[in-house]
Amino acid sequence: MSIALHLDPEVCYRALITRDARFDGRFFTAVRTTGIYCRPICPAPTPKPAHVTFYRSAAAAEAAGFRSCLRCRPERAPETTLSTGSARLVEQAMVLIAEGETGEGNDEAGLAARLGIGERQLRRLFQSHLGASPKALAQTRRNLLARQLVAETDLPLTEVALAAGFGSLRRFNTVFRDLYGRPPSEMRRAKGRQAEPGLVLSLPLRPPYEWAGVMSLLAAHAIPGVEQVSPACYARVIAVEGQYGTVEVWQEDATSLRARINFPALRMLPRIVARLRRIFDLGADPVPIDAWLGQDPALAGLVVLRPGMRVPGAWDPFELAVRVILGQQVSVAAGSRMAGWLATEFGTLVETRVAGLTALFPPAVVLAAVAPDAISLALNMPRARGAAIVNLARAVVETPGLLMRGDGLDIAQRRLCAVPGIGPWTAQCIALFALRETDAFPVGDVGLQRAIGLPATALAARAEQWRPWRAYAATHLWMVALGLSPAPERISHEDAVA
């Protein structure tokens, strides 16, 4: 079944005529007379209505036999997170495919098993939401990443093929000839070697993006030695399958961030890019979120002051969860310092090209083997908190999917609260930052209560009207609690407009 049947051709064509950036990434236009598919913002002459078909995803267009446009570059289209109903399963599958944990989606039976559904149901959901199979989506992601590496880097083509996930250079060349009618060597613009080391790539997003606010929250929670945050750049040490490197991210323009990746194994690039997108919440669609939250007078001024505010995530969900436990009943700054000490005491010290990045955070398998008293003594904190960290580490080792987004907020909270030492506040914070649950809301957080001037019971009632975007409301209120945004009642009309 063609996904084009789910799109309104008249609406899509009007967006195409006006090159409306709000529709960028929401659909792709396939031109039957040329065999090419484009983004709605493509500068090419607008084709006639009789010659076009609209698809919801690039994978659907490629599965129908169209090749991507060389002018508008579909690989630079922003992605939007699916977050409701059966789309949650599709989103979870897309995360697994993006991080390369299922053989790039080629093993559809294995992917379905990971999600706890049948293979046939998985394909049906993908067709319904994306118009393509999991295998087609994985292949399109691989092809578009290769295209991006050819266009934006000076990597040798053999390394491009490896980084994008092709089995061989011959296969890479064959796919490019089939998709673009020419070998990749003819698509590469002449460019000199980059002056600095590392692979530099663009990370598309859907504007607006509140870069300053996101960086402020990342800086407040940064783990010394593991992360380094300035107003202009976020940097951290990363580890994937026993190897380590660094990433640095900064804002490129209104529609993208830019990342410098230093990592020895190029085949890990898709996983690294997927995790960076998670840290900066690049799958969010800020316009409807802001419009929904802005209906509440208590949040309206905050939304206007910081349009496009995101919920910062984490490189590693376990690292983030431990950071949340360390932050129980202490200040944000104290929690960050303790996380830094934990990395120094139980992590791995490393040498990097980035000043200040000196340690890898200890993985779950390491902390699971540590005595709770050892953590408590090393960090000078209550034994119960050290025990909670060890209990969480052991639970993650025993159940690797514990910190993967899955069956919804309520089930995630029950699973987390089953770990000794984790209560509702901790579980909600983990769900919010690590599991990317958009409706997570730690109503017992004192900072949130003070920011809006309501006790827990009244705050819980007020937050009902913010569903399903309570996590974004919490982010705005935490900015107030940290002194990074003015209190809601202090925002004048003039300030909001300005």
| Contact of 16 with 40, CB cutoff 8 Å | yes
Query: Which DSSP state fits 484?
Result: S
* C-alpha distance across the termini of the chain, in Å: 48
Strands (E), 117-242: 199-204, 227-229, 234-240
Using a 10 angstrom Cβ sphere, with 0-12 exposed, 13-18 middle and 19 or more buried, the burial of residue 388 is: buried
Task: Give, in degrees to the nearest 5, the angle at Cα 43 between 132 and 270.
Answer: 40
Alpha-carbon distance 18 to 468, whole Å? 31
What does the pLDDT read at residue 494? Answer: 39
Cα(79)–Cα(57) distance, integer angstroms:
10
Higher-pLDDT residue of 482, 111: 482
Q: Are 372 and 406 in contact (CB under 8 A)?
A: no
Helix, strand, coil share of the chain (percent; to 5): 50, 10, 35
- pLDDT score of 7: 80
Among candidates 370, 201, 331, 335, which has minimal Cα distance to 269?
A: 201
pLDDT, residue 83, reads 55
Give, as one character, the DSSP assignment of residue 193: P
Q: Half-sphere exposure (CA, 13 Å, Cβ side) for 249?
A: 26
Within 13 Å, how many C-alpha atoms sit on residue 341's CB side? 15
CA-based nearest residue to 3, from 125, 142, 118, 104: 125
Longest Cα–Cα distance of the chain, Å, equals 72
Are 10 and 49 contacting, i.e. CB atoms less than 8 angstroms apart?
no
Question: Which tens digit of pLDDT belongs to each residue from 439-460?
Answer: 999 999 999 999 999 999 999 9
* CA 14 – CA 75 distance, rounded (Å): 23
Is the confidence at residue 105, as pLDDT, over 50? no
Q: How far apart are CA 34 and CA 406, in angstroms?
A: 41
- What is the three-class DSSP state of 30? strand
Q: Structure tokens of 346?
A: 């139980």
Strand order in the sheet with 227-229: 199-204, 256-262, 243-253, 234-240, 227-229
Q: What pLDDT is attached to residue 180?
A: 82
Rounded mean pLDDT of the chain?
89
Banded model confidence at residue 86, pLDDT cuts 50, 70, 90: low
Q: What is the pLDDT of residue 291?
A: 96
Known catalytic residues are 38, 445
**Statement: residue 1 has pLDDT above 80:** no
Sign of the CA dihedral with 102 first, then 106, 110, and 115 last: positive
Which one-letter DSSP state was computed for residue 24?
A: B
User: 300-344: per-residue pLDDT in tens?
Assistant: 999 999 999 999 999 999 999 999 999 998 889 999 999 999 999
Which residues make beta-bridge pairs with 247? 236, 261
Closest CA to 357 of 343, 376, 368: 343
Position 188 pLDDT exceeds 80: no
Residues 6 or more apart in contact with residue 413 via CB below 8 angstroms: 424, 427, 428, 431
What percent of the chain is predicted at pLDDT more than 90?
Answer: 66
Q: What is the pLDDT of residue 472?
A: 97
Cα distances (angstroms) measured from residue 207 to each of 255, 288, 485: 6, 12, 21
pLDDT in the model for residue 110: 82
Give the Cα separation of 62 and 449 in Å (integer). 49
Structure token digits, residue 34: 């040329």
Assess contact for 388 and 419: CB atoms under 8 A: yes
Question: Is the pLDDT confidence value at 365 over 90?
Answer: yes
Render pLDDT for 393-422 as a digit per residue (tens, 0 to 9). Answer: 999 999 988 998 766 789 899 999 999 999
Instruction: Please identify which residue in the block is written with the tokens 């409306």.
Output: 20
Please state the separation of Cα 26 from the chain's center in Å. Answer: 17
100 versus 289: the higher-pLDDT residue is 289
Cβ–Cβ < 8 Å for 207, 254: yes
Kindly tell me if the per-residue pLDDT of 76 is higher than 80.
yes
Amino acid at site 233: C
269 close to 303: Cβ distance less than 8 angstroms: no
Q: Long-range contact list for 459-468, CB < 8 A, 24+ apart?
A: 462/296, 462/298, 465/295, 465/296, 466/292, 466/293, 466/296, 466/299, 466/441, 467/439, 468/83, 468/84, 468/438, 468/439
Assess contact for 251 and 172: CB atoms under 8 A. no
- The tokens for 86 are 């059966």
Judged against a pLDDT cut of 90, whether residue 12 lies above it is answered with yes
- The pLDDT tens digits of the residues spanning 252-311 come to 999 999 999 999 999 999 999 999 999 999 989 999 999 999 999 999 999 999 999 999
